[in-house]
Amino acid sequence: MSDVLWNTGGRGAPAVPSAPALAVRAAELDAADPLAERRDLFALDDGVVYLDGNSLGALPRHVPARMAHVVAHEWGELRIRSWEESGWWTAPERIGERIAPLVGAAPGQVVVGDSTSVNVFKALVGAVRLAGDDRDEIVVDATTFPTDGYIAESAARMTGRRLVPVAPGDVPAAVGPRTAAALVNHVDYRTGRLHDLPGITAAVREAGALAVWDLCHSAGALPVDLDANGVDLAVGCTYKYLNGGPGAPAYLYVAERHQRRFDSPLPGWNSHADPFAMSPGYAAVDGARRGRVGTPDILSMLALEAALDVWDGVSVHEVRAKSLALTDFFLECVRAYVPEGRLTSLTPAAHAERGSQVALSCEDAPAVMARLIERGVVGDLRRPDVLRFGFTPLYVGFADAERAARVLAEVCARR
């Protein structure tokens, strides 16, 4: 894997800007940033540089008041009436429509509920069933976030398919007439590598299989364009770049062309065509709602709904531009401040291959991250040796990136 820190583009050692110059440039970049004022929408402490929004997004400031109203009024006073009067019953599809534009989906294709793992199961079993009985293999991204692999194995076992783990770049070569579906992560949770969603999707579909994407580490940080790229099914969480709160419910995208034949392995009563008929026979509802299962967890769901307000008027392309500028600038600062060879970057240099995080490795990563957090620079550790820094464009600025790199250099100077 190429190291973007000190060996960019095969040139010799690049010219290294000085610390004051980088701090000045950070201030200029922040001043010119059209998203800079979005930071005020979040509850953030200026003493902390929060670079862990790729694990848990920060709290939007208006969410506590909304939640207080939900708990005290909707639950406490209206009680059962809220299922209709407060719109609880329709929350999964209503919130799905809020997420849809962020992932490039036309209305009617996204529904919110359950965890990402549960949605991977629905999507993968659903995809296998759509592909038909003569296709007996499920291709899965071998570098995937582990839960996807574990659930894919269960889906394969329960549908009588064989699991074929490959690296994402090898998916186009691995798919063929036996492939039912391929499950791939859009951005690798560990390295921050962005995979070629358009190319892989096209190759999978060309082979007659279904492309299933996990968007946990991309949605809210970069354009996904599910519809435009012909993705078949997708899942994602909402507590990272979408700031929905700890363990906020995940979402499921089923492309409109597949919805009539989508056959969920978890056909709970919420996906029934007439749920309150309470009829013993199951009849699936049409549309995105078919992805629902049981009673939705309203408190978590309505916190997510409120949190999505921070996206009003934001273009995901603008977010992507800032994300790349931030990670570029952070890498530049690290290169300037940290002695050559002290850290290795796992994050690709090419923009087309980079998500919205920077992953740096070193042998003493656990100690380095502990000291960084003590110093107010919050990233996270992925064992054994990866420092992860997530850049959430709605609330992280260039001065944050410069400060994080400066503190990282100071921490790295101690062994």
Number of residues counted as binding a second copy (CB under 8 A): 79
From 31-39, 174-182, 262-270, 321-329, span contacting a second copy (CB under 8 A):
262-270
To the query of whether residue 157 is one of the catalytic residues in this protein, the response is: no
CB of 316 vs a second copy, minimal distance in Å: 23
CB of 236 vs a second copy, minimal distance in Å: 12
Q: 370 to 399, contacts with a second copy by CB under 8 A?
A: 378, 380, 382-383
To the query of whether residue 145 is one of the catalytic residues in this protein, the response is: yes
To the query of whether residue 240 is one of the catalytic residues in this protein, the response is: yes
To the query of whether residue 214 is one of the catalytic residues in this protein, the response is: yes
Residue 383 or 415 with smaller CB distance to a second copy: 383
Q: Site for a second copy (CB under 8 A): which residue of 79, 134, 312, 415?
A: 79
CB of 10 vs a second copy, minimal distance in Å: 32
115 forms part of the interface with a second copy (CB under 8 A): yes
Q: Site for a second copy (CB under 8 A): which residue of 172, 236, 249, 397?
A: 249
Helix axes 91-99, 298-307, angle to 10 degrees: 30
226 forms part of the interface with a second copy (CB under 8 A): no
Q: 304 to 363, contacts with a second copy by CB under 8 A?
A: none
Q: Where is the binding site, in residues?
A: 116-117, 145-148, 214, 217, 239, 269, 295
Q: Which residues are annotated as a binding site for pyridoxal 5'-phosphate?
A: 116-117, 145-148, 214, 217, 239, 269, 295
* Residues marked as catalytic: 145, 214, 239-240, 388
